[in-house]
Amino acid sequence: MIKKTLSTLLLSSFAVMALETGDAVPQAIQDELKLENNQTYVIDFFASWCKSCKKELPLVEKVAQENVTHIIGVNVDKKEEDGKKFVADLGLTFPIIYDNDKKLVEAFDPMGFPAIYYVKDGKVVNVIFGAVNDIDEQIKKDMQELK
């Protein structure tokens, strides 16, 4: 009985933590991502097994190269070496966090991959789930609207 109650509490705490538009990002998660106030970030959750991620990430890299916004990638592969190979193969240069302990993916709790969260001043201001054609243009448009 106690085990079942503890399991239920643990599972419900993860569900409560799922971040949606308008939610404040918990300070521990902001610290993990090294977010600063007065900045807008694009946080891109991806994995090597995600075909849409492989298609979108070079376009996200293009935005990173243009210095349109701060981009942080969060790789959710089970094996960090798979994620590192994927990142190297795509030539990504923006900061990547390898979420080995799954703290970030559990906090944000994306509905699928790729998942892009816009975070401004510590709050989620927009979310994009799934593949988007011309994601680079979409990010640039969104960033203009968030200024």
**17 pLDDT tier (thresholds 50, 70, 90):** low
Domain boundaries, the chain: 2-146
Using pLDDT thresholds of 50, 70 and 90, give the confidence band for residue 147: confident
Counted residue by residue, the chain has a size of: 147
> Which residues are 13's β-sheet partners?
none
CB–CB of 120/146 below 8 Å? yes
Task: State residue 22's pLDDT score.
Answer: 80
Torsion over CA of 18, 67, 73 and 119, rounded to 10 degrees?
Answer: -10
What fold is seen in the domain 2-146? Answer: Glutaredoxin (3.40.30)
Q: Is 9 helix (H, G, I), strand (E, B) or coil?
A: helix
CA distance 76 to 25: 19
What pLDDT, on the 0 to 100 scale, is given for residue 68?
84
CA 73 – CA 84 distance, rounded (Å): 12
Per residue in 71-128, pLDDT (tens digit) is 999 999 999 999 999 999 999 999 999 999 999 999 999 988 999 999 999 999 999 9
| Tokens 């994927």 belong to residue | 86
**What pTM does this model have?**
0.85
